[in-house]
Amino acid sequence: MAEADQPLGLTVHSLPSPAEAASGAVQRTRSGRLKMLLVVLICAAPVVASYFTYYVLRPEGRSVFGELIDPQRPLPDLVAQGLDGQPVRLPSLKGQWLLVSVAGGECDAACERNLYLQRQLRESLGKEKDRVDWVWLVNDGVPVREALRPALQSAAVLRVDPAGLAQWLAPAAGQPLSAHLYIVDPMGNWMMRLPPALDAAGAAKAKRDIERLLRASSSWDNAGR
């Protein structure tokens, strides 16, 4: 009975002050963000490594023929129109390396030369060609000549609003937009501009640039979308 009559012992724990509680919440939030950043960095490591190899280490110790774009410019959310009249969102082109030309639908001699170079550059890549799409962006309302269409069967021909296109691609000083070929990476970033009026020697140098890009991205980029 004496033992049963003993009073119960209670231990009182003090609650954290509002300042301590706020400090703990901040630390937890900061820790969560750091963990999320770490996960993103781990996932992005192959991409970062390949770009570091290309931009910094310069594979094979050679200079770059094309002009690197810094900062890179992502594909704009524009709706283009295919030759069949169907709408195509430009961001849907992501997932492949893109070799891009720009010209009006009439396609003068310079335009035809660029289209020929695009096709030849892609074909010259051999088994790697399926990682590259060649794209002609038509920046006016002129219909594409019927005589050109048979040669464009393996190309993506898209009519794009010229004002929107000019917000994404840009030529070198003193050159028209149609003077260059443009290279876009599989993440949709315009990252290189090739010199205007490529001749055979220039095309060979451009091919080397493209081959280096494909090698540098081989650990994370595969053919197809």
Give the pLDDT confidence of 119-177 residue by residue, as tens digits. 999 999 999 999 999 999 999 999 999 999 999 999 999 999 999 999 999 999 999 99
Beta-strand relationship, 156-159 and 132-138:
parallel
Q: Contact 80/159 with Cβ under 8 angstroms? A: yes
Q: Contact 222/131 with Cβ under 8 angstroms? A: yes
Q: What is the pLDDT of residue 58?
A: 47
Contacts of 199 (CB under 8 A, 6+ apart): none
Q: What is the pLDDT of residue 31?
A: 64
Q: What is the pLDDT of residue 52?
A: 47
- Please report which confidence band the pLDDT of residue 89 belongs to, taking 50, 70 and 90 as the band edges: very high
* Locus of tokens 């069949």: 84
Q: What is the mean pLDDT of the chain?
A: 83
Q: What is the pLDDT of residue 128?
A: 96
Contacts of 23 (CB under 8 A, 6+ apart): none
pTM, entire model: 0.75
Q: What is the pLDDT of residue 18?
A: 56
Q: What is the pLDDT of residue 138?
A: 98
Q: What is the pLDDT of residue 14?
A: 56
d(CA 101, CA 180): 7
